Amino acid sequence: MPQLVRKGVRIDDSFAEAFPMSGTGLIITAPNRKWAMIAAHTMTGFATSVIGCGCEAGVDAELSVKETPDGRPGVRVLLFAMSSKDAEKQLVNRLGQCVLTCPGTAVFRALDGEFEIKVGDAVRQFGDKWQISKALDGRRYWRVPVMDGEFLVESKVGLTKKCVGGGNLLVMGEDWDTTMRATEAGVEAIRGVAGAITPFPGGIVRSGSKVGSNYKGMGASTNDAYCPTLSGLGTSVLDPDIGCVLEIVIDGLTDAAVAEAMRAGLKAIIALGPKHGAKRVGAGNYGGKLGPFHYHLKDLLP
């Protein structure tokens, strides 16, 4: 594969291929950072891939007391799914089971989209007719009595169909430690980009997949071309100096957010250099025929 070199790191002349998704988000606040984060992590747990989890979700940003509607510490979480129906189902389920249950929390909308999802209007009935609503500046909130006080939840949150899922970087290094160091640096940089999340564990996936399988009925299987233990075989695309490959998958509220996240990740990975970090960076695609969004690495280089 033709390559460019930046600071000794080889960059594939390739592109990430991404897909349109429906996205929504919440601002979760709590009396302190700890419990806001616990709610956010619980809600976005088991949300790595739409294939098996129904949605992809993650923490977008931690918010200071000045940035939240109620002046308490908060977290903005984003949730993406293949359809608005899936997004609504997942959000309401996760809100009901993970945030309503979490001590001290309150929930507000994180974005205004073309559509709205009923969240408070769905969980309010937990209040068994003791719930009361409050309207403020054209937005409605439900106060649901719970055992630690009240659960305050906005009646509706925004949903947009303009989201992009599947931006990615394939980080290739000599061994697990150096590759992980570079990938972690990339994820850390992406964390600073607003409107983009990395839904996999710690933002990193090691089981990158290809479309199709040798088994009947399996839609996806291991990306053998990038498996280092198969590197000597004809199907491999790995160079002899690559012993580990990790992938960062990015979902964003907009096309620009995904591009910005990939740019930030690439910059951080390259800054680490090939000795202590990655030797090569690539991107996953399906030949450009499946997804309408293409992010060419050469356009995103620092």
Shortest Cβ distance from residue 135 to another protein (Å)?
A: 6
Among 1, 46, 70, 101, binds another protein (CB under 8 A): 70
**Shortest spacing between CB 77 and another protein, in angstroms:** 18
Q: What is the DSSP string of 131-184?
A: -EEEEETTEEEEEEEETTEEEEEESEEEEEEEEEEEEEEEEEESSHHHHHHHHH
Q: Which stretch binds another protein (CB under 8 A): 69-77, 197-205, 212-220, 251-259?
A: 69-77
CB of 144 or CB of 172, closer to another protein: 144
Site for another protein in 29-68 (CB under 8 A): 29
Is residue 106 at the binding interface for another protein, with CB under 8 A as the rule?
yes
Q: CB 119 → another protein: shortest distance, Å?
A: 16
If one asks whether residue 175 binds another protein (CB under 8 A), the answer comes out as no
Among 72, 94, 109, 263, the residue binding another protein under the rule CB under 8 A is: 72
Q: What CA–CA distance (Å, rounded) separates 219 from 286?
A: 14
Residues paired with residue 270 on neighbouring β-strands, in sequence order? none
Query: Shortest Cβ distance from residue 61 to another protein (Å)?
Result: 19
Task: State the binding string over 120-159 for another protein (x if CB under 8 A, else -).
Answer: ----------x-xxxxxx---x-x-----xx-x-------
Question: Minimum distance from CB of 267 to another protein (Å)?
Answer: 36
Please state the closest distance from residue 98 (CB atom) to another protein, in A: 18
Angstrom distance (rounded) from CA 7 to CA 110: 38
CA–CA separation, 249 vs 42, rounded Å? Answer: 20
292 binds another protein (CB under 8 A): no
Smallest gap from residue 294 Cβ to another protein (A): 42
Question: What pairing do the DSSP bridges indicate for beta strands 156-173 and 115-118?
Answer: antiparallel
If binding is defined by CB under 8 A, does position 112 make contact with another protein?
Answer: no
Q: Does 10 bind another protein (CB under 8 A)?
A: no
Residues that bind another protein (CB under 8 A): 29, 69-72, 106, 130, 132-137, 141, 143, 149-150, 152
